[in-house]
Structure formats: C-alpha cells, structure tokens
Structure 1
Amino acid sequence: MSWTDIETWIGENSPALYAVLLPSSSAVDIADAEESIGYALPAELVGWWRQFGGIGETYARWALVPPMWQPHGLDNALRLRTMMMQAISGIAFRTLGEEKDYEATALREPAGTPCVDIWLPAWLPVAADGSGHELFVDLRDGDLHGCVMEWDKYSGADRDPLWPNVTAMLDDALRALRGETGHRLVFERNDFRWE
C-alpha cells in the first residue's frame, strides 16, 4: 500500500508532520466502528487505518493529497460523519419524513451516485480541506463500493467519484509527493502546500 511509502516520505521530508502522526487504529477499533455505523469498511480502507491514525494538527498545514486534502484517521472520520449528518439534516426538506424518504431512496442507489441534499449515513469522511469540503468513502453497495467522492459545502456530492478507492487516492498522492505529476509542493517553514 502507498501509505507506507508516504509515511517514509514524510519522515524524510517533513519531520514536523512526522512528529504529529497519531497512532494507528486497532482491529478492535475498526470492528467497533463498523458496528456503530452499520457498514463494513472496504479492505483497503481498513488496511490504511491499520497503519495511519490521523494527524494531530490543523487541516491547512498538511495537505498530503493534492490539491488541498488532509487525510483523517478513523476517530476523526467517525466524529466528522456524525457532525455532517447532523449539520446537513433539516435544511433541504420541509419535514423530517420527506428527508427520511429521500435518504432511503438515496441509500438504495449504487455507490458513486451523486446526492446533493443530505449527508448519507453510508458516507465516511477520509480527508478534508479545512473549509467545509470533505472527501468521503461511499459505503453503499454496487460496483463502486468504497469509491472516494467529494462533498462540496455549496453543492453537496454532485459529481462522479474522484477515485475508485482509497488505494488509488493514496497512489496519486504518492506520485505527487515524488514530483511525478503536475502538482508542485511548496515548503514554507515546517508547512507545505500544493501549487
């Protein structure tokens, strides 16, 4: 998995970031998370979180996934999932019944299907930009189960998936960190950003 190589890159190029990497999640943590959200996590996501526990810093400092995404560990993902479901609920519908009907219909759609009016319980955040935009894994059934999509704070999840899974996302991030893509990493003191 690319995370091992990304962590090696971090250790060699950003000691400040390496110092704030959090401990990884245990098998018990993963099982508890699956039970609490009611969805099994894709194997590649489990494998990643068994190596990566998150970053104990603010979003803006460590955008490891270009162009602006700081990855979440399991604990932060669960916290943000709950926060997003609560924050979006009650905005687009006149009644809770209408919202629940819409949610039930959207949950029957295959993974990767856009949804703009609510945050679905089958969505689990994996990265954020720090200003209300999230990358999430879609845990609904279908050929794209485990795909990574973007939640835009203005338009919801109105686009097709960005990556078929977190492994593809991390592979792209590693290539960018190695300078193999059009993204350019700029270091500023102990921080970095993408241009």
Structure 2
Amino acid sequence: MWQRLSEWLHTHAPSTAQRLNPPAGEHLLQAYEAELGYALPSDLRDFWLQVDGMDLDGGWPPGYLIPPLYPPFSVAKSRNYRRMRLQVAGEHADDGELAAMSADPAGTTDSMPLWLPEWIPPAGEADGMFVDCRGGAMHGCVMEYFKYDGADGPVWPSVAAMLTDIADRLDRIDVTAVDTSPSADPRQGNWEFPWG
C-alpha cells in the first residue's frame, strides 16, 4: 500500500515526498520491540520497513499525510514520543489506574489524558495517532490521542486500513482544485491535504 502513496506523492507533491525518510533498518525495529516487550503489529512494522516517517528536523513538512493533521513519525520519533507520554502518565496516575485501562480491550476509549504501554504512536505532534496493542478483537486498531482529552476512535481498524484509506483519498483529489493560489500548489510545497 505504501507504494501507492509514494507514487502519488512523488507525482503530485514532490516537496512532501522529499521529506520522506529512507526505510528503517531491521535493527531499529528490533530495538523498539525489545523496549516495548512485545512485537510490533506486522502492518506497522511493514510501514516502517518501507519509509521511516518524515524528516521533521526542518520544521513541519508541506502537507499533513496522516489525517487529520499529522506527519508520520520515524521509529526514533515514535520511541521518544511514547517515552515522554509514558513519563507524563506515570506522574498523573497510579499503577492501578493504568493497569485497569491496560486490561480493557483494544479500541476502548477513555477521557483521561493518559498513555498506556500498549500504545505505539505512528504519527502526530502534541496530539496524534496511536496503534492500540491491547488484546481483543480490535488489536492493532489506529486511534487518535488528544493531550487534554484522552483517546478517541478507533479511526481505522489497522495501519493497513489507514494506508489504504489515505491512498484512496489521494486518488480522488483533483490536485488542480486543492487551492487556486500559487502558494498552495502541492508541487511548490505550501499546501495541506484536503481531508475534510
């Protein structure tokens, strides 16, 4: 599925495509899995083996690839974001509270702005998306996290479904109608995907 997205970006939004990182190395994924204590979902692993997120060091990339407004994380950025969220959660909740939320099935939402060890962030900024690796029928679903409002979703049943949905949406975009101002031309690098 990533191939469809990559081809679209290179054809219609090369300034966004230029900010894509090369594939992540297997050693990075194994190190992340060792830190997690469980295997990455196969579709998330496959995604990072094709593209290690976007280069965010030069500021926010042109266009937000993950609806509604998120760039995809590299493996390193995902690990750092997750560590920060777990630290904050540990400061604001007791172990019993986190354990109870972790025991809930994947896809369960909570208005508490906490972070669980079973959540892996593939995209975001202050808010963002996470893959829910708790047990249950929705294991591997993609949900949205809001730093003040907690979790919402599921948005997609899997990372593969997320990538398929994004590719389908991109295929339906009339790039000539994204915006009529020259500064918003996706080929020039100052625009946003019309996710609506």
**Shared fold by TM > 0.5?**
yes
* Displacement after TM superposition at 1:48 (Å): 0.7
Q: Residue 80 of structure 1 corresponds to which residue in structure 2?
A: 81
Q: Residue 189 of structure 2 corresponds to which residue in structure 1?
A: 190
1:114 aligns with 2:114: no
Aligned pairs (5 A) from 1:87-102: 87-91=88-92, 93=93, 99-102=94-97
Runs of 4+ in structure 1 displaced over 6 angstroms? Answer: none
For structure 1, the residue ranges without an aligned partner over 5 or more in a row are 94-98
Q: Residue 54 of structure 1 corresponds to which residue in structure 2?
A: 53
For structure 2, the residue ranges without an aligned partner over 5 or more in a row are none
CA distance in 1, matches of 2:65, 2:13: 11
State the identity as a percent.
31
TM-score by length of 1: 0.85
How far does the alpha carbon of each residue in 1:131-170 deviate from its partner, in whole angstroms, 9 at most, with x for none? x21100011111111100111122111x331100011111
* Displacement after TM superposition at 1:89 (Å): 3.3
Q: Count residues in correspondence.
A: 183
Match of 1:124 among 112, 120, 130: 120
Q: Residue 40 of structure 1 corresponds to which residue in structure 2?
A: 39
Root-mean-square deviation over aligned CA pairs: 2.0
| Structure 2 residue identity aligned to 1:20 | R
Q: Which moved more, 1:4-13 or 1:81-90?
A: 81-90
Aligned pairs (5 A) from 1:130-141: 130=125, 132-141=126-135
CA distance in 2, matches of 1:78, 1:133: 15
TM-score by length of 2: 0.85
Q: Which moved more, 1:110-119 or 1:166-175?
A: 110-119
